[in-house]
């Protein structure tokens, strides 16, 4: 499981970029593309909200990962949940929670701008922009792999946005938003492999634990027959060792399939989220450069992100009961 620290600041810069981008959209509301700016503001709100949910879902998987490591250590003393691994999970969780807060701050800022019909930013918008600036200022510069100058550039750019909002400097805000929007998608791409290790590690742990319990004969596989017997109100009662061994083989195969599906679904959500960010960056660039924006709907890939987010509570629920029934996690 890779640590997220090296690219942590980049992601936040990405979020800051969106906030910056959005500021430009509404601050420049007096131009001919004000209608496009309002539409882009709404789209950005939805995108930022999905980004918040994406991080919340990863945070949930990390909570379950911590529990899975504890279970694994109890079942197999050869692979204890050592202090180093525990610290890595905790640090990764803290990094994800920081990104979650940044995404939430971006959502709030976008909502404020979406309400505006002119070029005057509300006091709440100024406050939200300041909150995002504070979040960016809290990044652990010593933990990031990118140069200090890049970190300072991000901070300076957000500071310029806050100033532009307060002083109603449309051109300055537009220049800053365009510059940061282009970098936003790139930064998310840099961190995407690290996000995917969270899903891969979670899937691998559940798979390993399920197989261990099946192999040790500690799984009641009778529920595996529910699909055939439930229409008749019957419940299976496995007493034949040969039959049970055959079913355990089938269950083992389905465990592998489910684990692969879990990993693929999380990675797919990352890809879809990145595509949504890239699409928003493209639209914001159009508005910032005073060009018409033809599409007024939210990025279509957000639906895929939301679908995965909706599954995570269910995934987490099956993880916590994995030691009780392999069949429930293999369906």
Tell me the C-alpha distance between 306 and 48, whole Å. 12
Task: Domain count for the chain, please give it.
Answer: 1
The predicted pLDDT at position 216 comes to: 87
The predicted pLDDT at position 179 comes to: 65
The predicted pLDDT at position 116 comes to: 46
Tell me the C-alpha distance between 171 and 162, whole Å. 13
For the entire predicted model, the pTM comes to 0.77
The predicted pLDDT at position 286 comes to: 86
For residue 244, the enclosing domain spans: 5-329
Tokens of 203: 């899937």
Cα–Cα distances (Å) from 212 to 35, 75, 192, 260, in that order, read: 59, 9, 30, 17
CA angle 21-187-95, nearest 5°?
105
Residue 175 backbone dihedrals phi, psi, to 5 degrees: -65, -40
The predicted pLDDT at position 271 comes to: 97
Over the Cα atoms of the chain, what is R_g?
24
The predicted pLDDT at position 237 comes to: 84
Residues in the chain with pLDDT values less than 50: 6-13, 15-33, 116-119, 141-147, 150, 319-331
The predicted pLDDT at position 25 comes to: 41
Q: Per residue, what are the HEC states of the chain?
A: CCCCHHHHHHHHHHHHHHHHHHHHHHHCCCCCCHHHHHHHHHHHHHHHHHHHHHHHHHHHHHHHHHHHHHHHHHHCCCCCCCHHHHHHHHHHHHHHHHHHHHHHHHHHHHHHHHCCCCCCCCHHHHHHHHHHHHHHHCCCHHHCCCCHHHHHHHHHHHHHHHHHHHHCCHHHHHHHHHHHHHHHHHHHHHHHHHHHHHHHHHHHHHHHHHHHHHHCCCCCHHHHHHHHHHHHCCCCCCCCHHHHHHHHHHHHHHHHHHHHHHHHHHHHHHHHHHHHHHHHHHHHHHHHCCCCCCCCCCCCCHHHHHHHHHHHHHHHHHHHCCCCCCHHHCC
């Amino acid at each position: 499981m890779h640590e997220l620290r090296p690219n942590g600041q980049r992601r936040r810069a990405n979020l800051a970029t969106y906030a910056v981008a959005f500021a430009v959209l509404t601050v420049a509301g007096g131009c001919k593309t004000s209608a496009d700016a309002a539409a882009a503001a709404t789209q950005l709100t939805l995108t930022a909200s999905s980004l918040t949910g994406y991080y919340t879902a990863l945070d949930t998987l990390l909570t379950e990962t911590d529990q899975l490591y504890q279970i694994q250590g109890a079942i197999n003393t050869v692979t204890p949940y050592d202090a180093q691994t525990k610290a890595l999970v905790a640090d990764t969780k803290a990094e994800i929670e920081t990104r979650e807060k940044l995404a939430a701050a971006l959502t709030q800022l976008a909502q404020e701008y979406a309400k505006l019909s002119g070029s005057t930013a509300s006091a709440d918008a100024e406050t939200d922009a300041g909150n995002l600036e504070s979040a960016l200022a809290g990044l652990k510069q010593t933990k990031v792999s990118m140069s200090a100058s890049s970190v300072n550039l991000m901070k300076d750019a957000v500071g310029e946005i806050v100033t532009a909002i307060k002083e109603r400097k449309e051109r300055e805000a537009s220049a800053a938003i365009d510059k940061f929007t282009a970098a936003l998608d790139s930064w998310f791409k840099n961190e995407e492999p690290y996000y995917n290790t969270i899903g891969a590690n979670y899937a691998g742990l559940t798979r390993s634990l399920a197989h261990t319990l099946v192999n040790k004969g500690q799984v009641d596989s009778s529920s595996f027959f529910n699909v055939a017997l439930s229409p008749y109100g019957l419940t299976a009662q496995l007493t034949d060792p040969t039959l049970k061994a055959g079913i355990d083989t089938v269950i083992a195969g389905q465990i592998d399939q489910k684990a692969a599906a879990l990993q693929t679904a999380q990675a797919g959500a990352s890809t879809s989220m990145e595509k949504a960010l890239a699409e928003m960056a493209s639209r914001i660039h159009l508005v910032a450069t005073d060009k018409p924006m033809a599409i007024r709907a939210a990025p279509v890939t957000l639906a895929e992100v939301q679908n995965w987010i909706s599954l995570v509570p269910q995934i987490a629920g099956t993880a916590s009961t994995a030691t009780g029934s392999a069949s429930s996690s293999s369906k």
